[in-house]
Amino acid sequence: MSEPFPDEIDEALWDAACRRADEIREFLKHRPGKMTAADVALLATGIEISRATAYRLIKLFRAGGAVISLVNRKRGRPQGRRVDDQREEIIRTTIKRHYLTRNRPTVSQLVRDVPTSCMSAGSNRRIANDQCST
């Protein structure tokens, strides 16, 4: 995912990221070595995020140290990005033929079968997993 430009970020999100950066910077300044789970839990409580998110943000901040890395991102697939109609039909057919049966395979097997079905359908270009998967 590419980083948005600072002028593309909502002001409230930018302010929240700046506050997080300040808190994390202060947190790391007092813990140059290892940090305990209790330390991270305290940080998480202070900036009102989960402990897992606190670990993720600390890692991001250590890697880049930029406020932009701490901006909340919208979850999920980017809008406007769709699978083309041919691949959509292949996915639908693969699900019906292989998965919606009495002795269905696991979901992971279905996920492996969809790209194979796409390639078998004659697509000459290389198909990325995210373009041809459920």
pLDDT at 129 over 50: no
Mean pLDDT of the chain: 76
pLDDT at 59 over 60: yes
Confidence band, pLDDT 50/70/90 cuts, at residue 125? very low
pLDDT at 127 over 80: no
* Most confident region among 4-13, 24-33, 71-80 by mean pLDDT: 24-33
How many Cα neighbours within 13 Å face the side chain of 23?
20
Q: Is the pTM of this model over 0.75?
A: no
pLDDT at 3 over 80: no
Q: Which has the higher per-residue pLDDT, 51 or 14?
A: 51
Average pLDDT of span 60-76: 71
